[in-house]
Amino acid sequence: MKLAPFSPYMSKPTPQSRQAISSQIMNPSDEMTDQIIKGLVEILAIEGPTLSTRAFTQYGRKGGIVKMTRTAVQRFTKALVKAKKDGKILFEIDPCEEGVAYLLWLPTQERVSVREYGNRGFEDIPASELGEVLFTLADEMHDASDKTKLYAKIAELYGLKQLPKNATARLDFVFQQYLA
């Protein structure tokens, strides 16, 4: 199985970006919403398709936000709705173990892109992407029933010596959604 490269969005917080993002979160004006949309589109152009949780975190880091507050998530979600209405960002609910996450992508991108692990954690990889990897590897192995071997193949494919602690629960969930 061939994986496309994964390119992470990189940014460094500056005093100006901290002030700008703080204003964007607190000010519900259309102008500020459009600035958030522009930032999310920039992230998706590099990392898309990706999960809303990752896109929001990447956007927040640009402004020095370490932990997403409820207010910030609500503000970013409101911007997503406007972006979808304007045809700038597409999204759908991504199956996840807890809470709600959205799969985000640009209209010019495929909804599913199977990519290298990169600097993502398993919780950052869309279920649809993991599902495609699981399905393809299970097909190559001619046996989807042995999850231990399948998960070892995923670790090997991603260049990992072993799966991170949280990966098995995520893979079990995705396995149930896509292969069971």
pLDDT tens track for 9-26:
998 888 888 888 888 888
| CA 79 – CA 28 distance, rounded (Å) | 10
Each residue's pLDDT tens digit, 131-162: 999 999 999 988 777 899 999 999 999 999 99
Q: Once rounded to an integer, what is the mean pLDDT over residues 108-135?
A: 95
| CA 81 – CA 93 distance, rounded (Å) | 13
**Number of other residues whose CB lies within 10 A of the CB of residue 161:** 6
Q: Are residues 48 and 92 in the same domain?
A: yes
Q: Are residues 98 and 134 in the same domain?
A: no
Identify the pLDDT of residue 66: 80
Identify the pLDDT of residue 84: 98
Each residue's pLDDT tens digit, 62-113: 888 888 889 999 999 999 999 999 999 999 999 888 777 899 999 999 999 9
Q: Are residues 34 and 100 in the same domain?
A: yes
Q: Are residues 93 and 155 in the same domain?
A: no
Task: Determine contact, residues 80/102, Cβ cutoff 8 Å.
Answer: yes
- Peptide bond between residue 126 and the one before it cis (omega within 30 degrees of 0): no
Q: Are residues 34 and 79 in the same domain?
A: yes
Q: What is the pTM of this model?
A: 0.91
Q: Once rounded to an integer, what is the mean pLDDT over residues 112-129?
A: 95
Residues constituting the chain: 180
Last residue of a domain, one of 78, 105, 132: 105
Q: What is the CATH number of the domain that holds 63?
A: 1.10.10
130: left (phi > 0), else alpha (psi -120 to 50), else beta? alpha
Domain assignment present for 3: no
Each residue's pLDDT tens digit, 26-43: 889 999 999 999 999 999
Domain assignment present for 174: yes
Give the DSSP H/E element, type plus range, for residue 79.
Answer: helix 70-85
